[in-house]
């Protein structure tokens, strides 16, 4: 591995370990969106093994999002998010098993909408000194 790549990886690792909860959440959404776009490209190109690899990464991230829900802090919103996440996981599986782009686009839309909402919430929390 060249020195520049080692430095980039060290920077990314440091960014991850020093990020606040809101930033980590946004990093998860950005990763899921990026991986889903890559899965879609691999499906379009007929690269099924690669498609499966990236869908598995998206699945892992959404599963992590489910596991971070705090029902004590806000049960109603946590339940709604849980439902959306499970719906996204279901559509992701349909996309994978059916080699279908439409469910991928549905999941992409959900993830982008949620990321946008979280970006606003994180920005508000920072402005108000809550983050």
pLDDT at 16: 47
Cβ neighbours of 15 (radius 10 Å): 12
| Contact (CB, 8 A) for 65 and 89 | no
Tokens of 120: 């606003």
Distance between CA atoms of residues 22 and 7, nearest Å = 25
Helix and strand element counts for the chain (H, E): 5, 0
Question: Domains in the chain, ordered, with CATH?
Answer: 20-127 (1.20.120.340)
Question: pLDDT band at residue 20, thresholds of 50, 70 and 90?
Answer: confident
Q: For the residues 37-56, what does the mean pLDDT come to?
A: 98
Q: Is the pLDDT of residue 91 over 60?
A: yes
Question: pLDDT band at residue 11, thresholds of 50, 70 and 90?
Answer: very low
Q: Is the pLDDT of residue 89 over 70?
A: yes
Question: pLDDT band at residue 3, thresholds of 50, 70 and 90?
Answer: low
94-130 burial code (b ≥16 CB/10 A, e <16)? ebbeeeeeebbebbbebbeebbeeeeeebeeeeeeee
CA distances from 3 to 10, 13, 15, 76, 94 (A): 11, 15, 18, 48, 42
């Amino acid at each position: 591995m060249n020195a520049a790549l080692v430095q980039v990886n060290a920077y990314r690792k440091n960014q991850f370990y020093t990020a606040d909860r809101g930033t980590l959440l946004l990093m998860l959404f950005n990763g899921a969106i990026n991986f889903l776009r890559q899965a879609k490209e691999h499906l379009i190109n007929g690269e099924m093994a690669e498609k499966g690899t990236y869908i598995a990464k998206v699945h892992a991230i959404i599963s992590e999002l489910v596991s971070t829900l705090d029902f004590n802090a806000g049960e109603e919103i946590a339940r709604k998010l849980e439902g959306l996440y499970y719906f996204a996981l279901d559509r992701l599986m349909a996309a994978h098993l059916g080699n279908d782009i439409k469910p991928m686009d549905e999941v992409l839309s959900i993830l982008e909408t949620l990321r946008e909402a979280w970006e606003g919430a994180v920005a508000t929390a920072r402005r108000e000194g809550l983050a």
